[in-house]
Amino acid sequence: MKVIRSSDNLKQHVRFINTLIIFAVLFFASRGAAQDQSSRKDTVSMPRLEIPEITIVGKKAITLPFARKGEIYDTEIFEAPLPDTSLIEERTGPAFPLGTLPRYEESFVPFHLSAQGSFGSFATAHARIFADYKKQNWGLYGNGELKISNGHVDGADEKSVDLNFKAHALVKTDNAILGSFRTLGGLKFYHDSYGLYGIKSSSVDRSRTAVNFSAGLQSIERESGSLDLNLSALIWSVKDIYPSTDSSSSTVSPEFDAIYWISLGKFNLNTELHYQSSSLNYNYPVQTPSLLNILIGAQWNLTPVWKLDVGGSFNQGNNSNGGSNTLVRPYVSLQWQMDRDRQWSVWFIPEMNIDSYNDLMNSNPYLMRQIVINPEERSVNLGSRFWYNSELYTVEVKGTALVSSNKPVQVSKLEIVDLTYVNTEQFIFDLNGIVYPSEKIQIHVSGILQPSYERGKAIQLPMIPLVKMGAKGEIALNYPVTLWSGVEFWSKQNATLNGETKLKERLLLSAGASTTVIPRTFLSLEISNIFNRKYEWWSGYTAPGISFLLDAKFNIR
């Protein structure tokens, strides 16, 4: 019997395994060589792209070829142009109509030119031209206006010229506060002449000239904070021409505003500074009226629907007669955004403000030339507002209670309209709404109830009607024509503090139509005071009767 030792047996197994490994290596090596041979590039025939086919709803879509190992597709990186900043800021372009170009194409046609002309009763003619040139980072805007009229009564003729020019530019900085900001500059010239036909004892003509310089800086990025600065200077010159003599006055009114706010999560902190004054050049000695407001506050988003605004203000005012007053008060306002269609707010915001010479002259062009200017102090300014919106109508209701000192009130004295200052109490209830009976019909309604009295008295303040109401209906026809009609009512007005002189109530009906049937043209016709009601703007100054106005606006470019 032959005995096989374990060491010999192990050697035999090892030789067998080695033999299998050698055969396996040779087999796979031969297969790899065959694969390399089949995948070798063909240098004779034309190269072929390996483009996969993707079937989408039965159609083949061609895609870019797969990049092979070591291949690089060299492409130029596309840099997108800067966005049109007018999409995030207020556009200072011409008024309607803008033409047929879509908004996103205006950067390719930056220059716009529009014109407006009108003709109406009493030989009234009006012409205006708008020009606007806007690039990505800067723009220019200007308009000019000319108006003449023979007037509705003797001595009511008027002429006016209005020129306005503005420029703005976007500037980028690395400053954490300014960031990217917009600079603004403007120049405005205005001149008019008209008759003070309410003065019956003599023929008096008035000419006014105003020149306004303005400059500003406004932050563009407002996510975390912003800084806005505005500076202006307004120069007024008023001359009254009598048959035998002339009398003139002039004023220079600088004004400065600065607003800064910063966001701290749920809190927004803001600081506001306002200063204005008027250097008065009268025929008698007078002080320079001025006003300084400093406000510091914070806005707090209590919840997603509740917002609280609290702070305090310091106000210092100087009168043109030499007096002064100071008001230091806290303020608070609360807003509740119930949903996207309902909002309610309440506030208590004492304040001090001043009507500049420009404000007063624009509110009443027949006002006495040399007027006293005093700051008005509102020690109580309490109010509430509710707004509601639906598919059928939108309504806003607001109520305000005011307690004021040195409130300016226009009063009639013989044949002139003067300005006086009184301590007052006012309760104002204001209603505004729009009703949408159908897609092509709109009805606008408004009303105000404003009992206003001198403190301690029960006589309505002069030139403030107790009730004002109005309604206007508008319907768009199937043709490019819109028809409208409106009615307006004012209750009686006192012309003096004692109420002895009154202006009777007014009820006025008007109607009109407009069309865009001509491309780039807006035509309108308006008829006012259809029933030819007689009423007065101010005591002695009768308003026009029935009148018409034909207006056309053209978009030239």
**How do residues 498-527 score in pLDDT, each as one tens digit?**
999 999 999 999 999 999 999 999 999 999
Question: What pLDDT digit, counting tens, does each position of 291-301 carry?
Answer: 999 999 999 99
pLDDT reported for residue 534: 95
Interatomic CA distance for residues 189 and 237, integer angstroms: 12
pLDDT reported for residue 100: 38
Q: Is the dihedral of CA 279, 281, 285, 286 positive or negative?
A: negative
Q: What type of residue is 6?
A: S
Residues in CB range of 174: below 8 A, 6 or more apart: none
Collapse the DSSP code of 365 into the 3-class scheme (helix H, G, I; strand E, B; otherwise coil) and give the result: coil
Q: What is the average pLDDT across 337-348? A: 96
Q: What is the average pLDDT across 535-548? A: 95
**Cβ atoms of residues 180 and 215 within 8 Å:** no
Kindly report whether the peptide bond that precedes residue 97 is cis, defined as omega within 30 degrees of 0.
yes
**Cβ atoms of residues 168 and 183 within 8 Å:** yes
pLDDT reported for residue 413: 87
Distance of CA 67 to the CA centre of its chain: 54
Q: What is the average pLDDT across 214-228? A: 88
Interatomic CA distance for residues 7 and 206, integer angstroms: 134
In our burial notation (b when 16+ CB lie closer than 10 A, e otherwise), range 454-489 reads: beeeeebbbbbbbebbbbbbbebeeeeebebbbebe
pLDDT reported for residue 69: 43
Q: For residue 176, with 0-12 CB atoms within 10 Å meaning exposed, 13-18 middle and 19 or more buried, which class applies?
A: exposed
Q: Is the dihedral of CA 526, 531, 532, 535 positive or negative?
A: negative
Predicted confidence band of residue 101 (pLDDT cuts 50, 70, 90): very low
Q: What is the average pLDDT across 331-341? A: 96
User: Which tokens is 300 given?
Assistant: 């707090």
pLDDT at 368 over 90: yes
Q: What is the average pLDDT across 86-114? A: 50
DSSP string over 184-205: EEEEEEEEEEEE-TT--SS--E
Interatomic CA distance for residues 210 and 232, integer angstroms: 13
Question: What pLDDT digit, counting tens, does each position of 233-263 carry?
Answer: 999 999 999 998 999 999 999 999 999 999 9
Question: What pLDDT digit, counting tens, does each position of 9-21 carry?
Answer: 444 444 544 544 4
What totals of helices (H) and strands (E) does the chain contain, helices first? 2, 31
Least confident of 60-74, 123-137, 278-292, 471-485: 60-74
Q: For residue 451, with 0-12 CB atoms within 10 Å meaning exposed, 13-18 middle and 19 or more buried, which class applies?
A: middle
pLDDT reported for residue 180: 82
pLDDT at 336 over 90: yes
Was domain 100-387+471-555 assigned CATH 1.10.110.30?
A: no
**Cβ atoms of residues 462 and 409 within 8 Å:** yes
Q: What share of the chain is helix, strand, coil (3-state, %, to 5)?
A: 10, 55, 35
Question: What pLDDT digit, counting tens, does each position of 121-171 carry?
Answer: 999 999 999 999 998 889 999 999 999 999 999 999 999 999 999 999 998
| 3-state helix/strand/coil string of 311-325 | EEEEEEEECCCCCEE
Q: What is the average pLDDT across 107-112? A: 74
pLDDT reported for residue 177: 63
